[in-house]
Structure formats: C-alpha cells, structure tokens
Amino acid sequence: MLQHAHNPVDWYPWGEEALSKAVKEDKPILVSIGYAACHWCHVMEKESFENTDTAAVMNEHFVNIKIDREERPDLDHIYMDAVQAIQGQGGWPLNVFLTPTRKPFFGGTYFPPQRAFNRSSWPEILAAVVESFKVRRNEIESQAENLTNHLEESNNILQSIRTKELPHFSKEQVKEIFDGLMKAADTHEGGFGKAPKFPQTFSIAFLLGYHFQENDALALQHACLSIDKMINGGIYDQLGGGFARYSTDAGWLAPHFEKMLYDNALLVMVLCDAYAITGNEIYKKKIIETIGFVERELTSPEGGFYSALDADSEGVEGKFYVWSREEIDRILGDEAELFCEYFDVTSTGNWEQTNILRVKEPHKEFADRKRMNEEELKEKLQIAADKLLYVRNKRVRPLLDDKILLSWNALMITACAKAFAATGIRSFRDSAEKNASFLWENLFSNGNWKHTYKKSEAKYPAFLDDHAYLIQALLHLQEISGDTSYLEKAKVLTEEVCCNFSDEENVFFYFTRTDQLDVIVRKKELYDGATPSGNAIMAWNLYYLGIVFNTEKWVDRAFKMAAAMQQVIIKYPTSFGVWTTIMQGLAYGIPEIVLAGKDIRNLHSDLLRTFIPFKIFQSTTLPNQTFPLLENKLLTEESRLYFCKQYACQSPVNEVTRLIQMIKKG
C-alpha cells in the first residue's frame, strides 16, 4: 500500500470498509496481490496502475484492493489457488476478480498495457469483466460458486489415517524417495529440474541425511554439487554475501535479484549441515558472509530481521549488482585482469551486455593454473572485491522492505542457532537470542501473536507458519543453550496451535485461526514451497515435544500426519521436501540424546558441530526431574552422552564418535 500510495487508482486495504463498499455498491472487487521485491509487480504498476485513464476505469467499475502477499499469505494462498485453477498457472503480480461476496470468478498474473506476449491487455481485461458482470451476472455468480466449492474440496484431498495402528515407514520407501529425487537432479549444474531454478534446500537436506544413514556417495556428491554451483553462481552475491531468490537459467548465473530473508535463512541451514559433514572451509566462509549480509542489511536496530531487498534500483533490474569490464578496469587498474578472469567478467558481458560476478573454476585449480599460492590468490581477490564493494555501496540502493515477519524471523533464528552449532561463533547465538527477545517484546501481546511488525505496530493474527517456525526455533535455541525455558515456551505454543488451528475431522492444521472470519476458505497448506509447510514443521515439533514432555497424543498425531502424506511424498518428493526428511527420520528412527555432567562445555561443542540429521537433544549440568529424558541422569565430573532409540537405551559414552557409531548401528 505504501509503494502504491501515489497511484491514481483508489486502492483500499483488505478490510471491512472495502468489502462493505463492494456489497453496498454491488461492484466486483479487484484484488491485486504482490510483494515489495517483485520485479513484474513494479512493471505492471508503472505501465497500468500509474496510467490515469486506466485508473479511471478501475475506480469507476471496481472496488480495488491492494494486498501484500507476505502480510496476508492466507489471502494469497486462497486466490492463488483460484487463479491456478482458472489459468493453469500463477505468480505475481496476482490480479483476481471477486464477486461482492469475495468469491473469485476470474484472474491472472501480469497483463501488459497493450496486447502482447499472447496476452490480452489490461484495459481489455477490465472491459471484458465489466461487460460480463453487467450482462452475464448469473454466469459469473455460478462460476464463482463452483470455483469456491473447488477450493473447499481440494482442501480435503488428503485424509487422515483413521486406524488405531500406527503406520509403518520403511527404509525401502526412503530409497524410493532418493531415486525419485535423483531422477529430477541436474547432475551437471546441480539442483533439480530445469530453469527457472530454485535452491530446493529441503531436497538437499534430505540427500545429506540419506548420506548419513546409508553412506551413499552419490547423495553427498549431488548435495555438494548443488551447493557449490549456487555459491559460485550469480545467484550468490560474490561481493556482499547473501543469495537472490532463484536463478532464471539452469547454470545459476542470472537471478531475479531480489534477496529474501527466508531464502538466506534456509540456505544457511543447509550450508551448516554440509559444513558439519565435509569440513569444507568454503561453506563456513559462505555461512559467515550470508549471516553478515543479513546483519548488515536486513537487521533493525532493535534486533528484528527485515523481509527483503528489491530486485530493481533506478527502475532497472539488477543494476545495483552488475558491472561493465570498463568500470572494473577503471577501479582496479592492474588488478583488474586477475579479478575479471576469476569472476567471468568480459568486455561483451555474460548477461545482457553487462556482467554478473560468478566463479567458473574452483579456487585451487585457478590458483594452480596461474601458478599462484592459494592464500596469495585469496588475498588479491579480497582486496579487489573490497574496492568494488566500496564503489557499489555508493550506488542507488534497491528498496528495503522493512516489515518484520514473525515466520521469517523464526527461520532466521533457526539458521543462526545452526550456524553457532556448526562454527562455534558466539555472535550467531547472540543474534538468535536477541531476535527471540525482540519477537516476544514486539509481536506478542495479551497472550496472542501477531504476524507482522513495522514502525512500532504489530498487525494481523499470526498464522500456522508463524507458530510452527517459532516452535522449531525454540527447539534449536534449547539445543544450543541447554535452557529448558525454551521448551516450556514451545509447549505453550504447541498447545495453542492444537487448540486454535486444528480440524476436528482431520490431523492436519488450518493455516488460519478458528476465530479469523475474513477468508472464504480455511486452507490447509501441505506443500513445501519456497518456505516449509507449516504442517510439516508441526509434525516434527509434535514428535519432538511429545517425546520431551511424554505426551503420547502429540507423537501419535505426528505419525498420522506423516502417514497421510506417505504416498504423495514418495511420488512427488521435490514438492514435499520437508516431509521427505520427516519420513526419513521416522523410517530410520529418531535418536534421543542427553548430555549430562558437571562441566559439559567441550562435549556439548563437539556434539553441536556433528551432523545428525534428526535428533531430540537435551543437556543438563543440574539434577532435573521435570523432563523425562533428564530424569536420574548421573552428574559426574566426566560428562556423558546417553542415547535411546526406538524404545531401547544404550550405555552412556563420553565421545561423540562413539555416539555416532551407536546411532548408525541402530
């Protein structure tokens, strides 16, 4: 709304005023959904929403509502599903036409100002809808009713398992998932599928877990290939750190340049896992650089994490990030030749007559070919990069989307906690704990959580994802700190989710609360998209906390959620990436680990640095009879690791390597 405030279109926020106006004046509602960093949203705004003639038509015949999809993901989910049902595809900007009673009857994504790209123009679309609403009103109402019924029915495709017997998850099923992922794998450029290419960190995480359990070289190879190609590609900011949202090509060169908080959180998580397995110092460097980018450019003074940086600056996509060879020559002088060769910079450009920095040759191979010491090469490149970054920082910066979302902040807490675990760098833990305190102080009030925060105001009731990701973050904070108060908070949040988001007929959770009344459909989101499904994360949370608090109904529900998804997970693993890791854990068994002793610091650090793909972990230096896993643990001078799995416990050990042997042995 702030970005579109200057438009001649009379935009309303979604709310009672606009919805009542549509009913009172019997006008169709035009809902336009976008987000601050969306390139094509900006294009359509300039071409159509800033056009006074077009705006006049919109103002006369429609009630126009502008929605930020990140502030209202509930509405975005509903109307995106509607447009996908109508058009067979979706995206942003999302423009959908509703009856005065909020039911969708037509919609699409980007429409040009004149007919082009085999698309009708926006003025043509407006005229056709106005005509249809006047002349064929009964058809529109019928279509809207049918489409709304379709949305309701598609919400209940997956039914819960209605049996007293818990389902069986097998290693053979996990192998089927692995085979399915590898069929979609791009074994040359990494990742999965063809362009456009998204990071798909969930599938990479599955491969790392599969390697842990089966010692499968191919799984590790493709996971690392995918990570290597991304961190060397244009999707990664080679000067300032941090990842763009996705690559428009199969080789990870040309991103849509927006940088989203959630992508960087998810990529840090998988980088931490890869670093823990391989010890590859380049992965550690990218963890440090990416969190450094977030702390430098996406962190508020109070400790909240902002949402995104725009793709455009000065109206041009990527202008802030790209370079000409002439500009680099002018800045670096004699140092330019080496830098340009390493980062694939040419006089003709590698993208639209300009250059996106990328690395095409591994560091060591490049150094050997140039007959240089690796450290010498690293130093020269860093000096040159610092000079270019200094110049870049004087350019007109992309727009900062400074709203703070509970869900994405929680993902970043988990990322920082995992980064502390993997690297031991204390500032990462400090960032995680500071952000958690910020969220409690600013987005929690009178027993309720809010979804978004900006300019000292928290708005909109929190959604399932907000709660699920925050519970997950609390579990990670507990693991790195040993502070059981995080578990108590997670328990309260889980009880709230079970109370306010449950479906009495089904094990899955709704995206919206029971008392939220401004949506036509209460959706259950099960797919793992750009961010994890809240249901998938809740399945893991329920299992974890069910064990920690000995709450059998939570463990049972987690099993049943995974069981209801079992067949689609196996059949479509890239669409259910988080679910695949949950199924993997249930098939192999989830270890329960306790670290106890009077001084656990060294062993605690060793364990945190060690990759265990799914585990329940608590630690203590004091007697604790509150938590079942901590009961009756001996607190000797020498700290000990206690290990249980599938209702069987082993003798305690004092080395992480011995613990891993026991876990893999089963």
Residues 37 and 140 reside in one and the same domain: yes
* Residue reference for tokens 């708005």: 459
Residues 327 and 307 reside in one and the same domain: no
Banded model confidence at residue 647, pLDDT cuts 50, 70, 90: low
Residues 361 and 430 reside in one and the same domain: no
pLDDT (mean) for 587-600: 94
Query: Using CA atoms, how far apart are residues 327 and 330, in angstroms rounded to an integer?
Result: 5
Banded model confidence at residue 161, pLDDT cuts 50, 70, 90: very low
pLDDT (mean) for 337-350: 98
Q: What count of Cα atoms within 13 Å lies in the side-chain half-sphere of residue 587?
A: 24
pLDDT (mean) for 414-425: 98
Residues 377 and 433 reside in one and the same domain: no
Residues 290 and 385 reside in one and the same domain: no
* Residue reference for tokens 């040159």: 384
595 Cβ contact list (under 8 Å, min separation 6): 603, 604, 607, 617, 618, 619, 620, 639, 640, 641, 642
Residue 430 lies in a domain: yes
Banded model confidence at residue 165, pLDDT cuts 50, 70, 90: low
CA angle 19, 21, 27 (to 5 degrees): 95
Whether 651 shows a pLDDT value over 60: the answer reads: yes
Query: Which pLDDT score, from 0 to 100, does residue 48 have?
Result: 93
pLDDT (mean) for 341-347: 98
Residue 46 lies in a domain: yes
501 Cβ contact list (under 8 Å, min separation 6): 464, 467, 509, 510, 511, 512, 513, 514
CA–CA distances in Å: residue 659 to residues 548, 601, 612, 620, 653? 20, 17, 10, 17, 7
pLDDT (mean) for 88-117: 92
Banded model confidence at residue 548, pLDDT cuts 50, 70, 90: very high
pLDDT tens figures, 143-160: 999 999 998 888 776 554
pLDDT (mean) for 532-561: 97
CATH code of 456's domain: 1.50.10.10
pLDDT (mean) for 75-86: 93
pLDDT (mean) for 462-491: 98
Residues 269 and 384 reside in one and the same domain: no
Banded model confidence at residue 163, pLDDT cuts 50, 70, 90: very low
Whether 18 shows a pLDDT value over 90: the answer reads: yes
Residue 304 lies in a domain: yes
Banded model confidence at residue 649, pLDDT cuts 50, 70, 90: confident
Residues 29 and 57 reside in one and the same domain: yes
Whether 113 shows a pLDDT value over 70: the answer reads: yes
Q: Which of 127-131, 154-158, 521-525, 636-640 has the lowest mean pLDDT?
A: 154-158
What percentage of the chain has pLDDT greater than the value 90? Answer: 88
CA–CA distances in Å: residue 25 to residues 15, 16, 61? 16, 14, 10
Domain boundary among 107, 127, 154: 154
Residue 577 lies in a domain: no
Number of domains in the chain: 4
Residues 360 and 418 reside in one and the same domain: no
pLDDT (mean) for 205-230: 98
Q: Return the number of other C-beta atoms located less than 10 Å from residue 117's C-beta.
A: 7
Query: What is the chain's mean pLDDT, rounded?
Result: 94
CA–CA distances in Å: residue 78 to residues 68, 90, 371? 14, 12, 58
Residues 206 and 295 reside in one and the same domain: yes
CATH code of 147's domain: 3.40.30.10
Residues 363 and 455 reside in one and the same domain: no
12 Cβ contact list (under 8 Å, min separation 6): 18, 21, 63, 64, 65, 66
Whether 380 shows a pLDDT value over 90: the answer reads: yes
Structural domain of residue 119, as residue ranges? 11-154
Query: Which pLDDT score, from 0 to 100, does residue 40 have?
Result: 83
Residue 535 lies in a domain: no
- Six token digits for residue 236: 């990664």
Residue 518 lies in a domain: no
Residue 525 lies in a domain: no
Query: Which pLDDT score, from 0 to 100, does residue 650 have?
Result: 85
Query: Which pLDDT score, from 0 to 100, does residue 152 have?
Result: 86
pLDDT (mean) for 631-656: 87
User: CB burial class (10 A; 0-12, 13-18, 19+) of residue 64?
Assistant: buried
Residues 149 and 269 reside in one and the same domain: no
Q: What is the DSSP letter of 334?
A: G
pLDDT (mean) for 435-453: 96
Residues 47 and 110 reside in one and the same domain: yes
Query: Using CA atoms, how far apart are residues 450 and 462, in angstroms rounded to an integer?
Result: 5
Residue 423 lies in a domain: yes
What is the longest distance spanned by two Cα atoms in the chain?
84
pLDDT (mean) for 532-543: 98
pLDDT tens figures, 243-280: 999 999 999 999 989 999 999 999 999 999 999 999 99
Domain boundary among 418, 435, 462: 462
Whether 466 shows a pLDDT value over 60: the answer reads: yes
Query: Which pLDDT score, from 0 to 100, does residue 2 have?
Result: 61
Residues 597 and 603: beta-carbon distance below 8 Å: yes
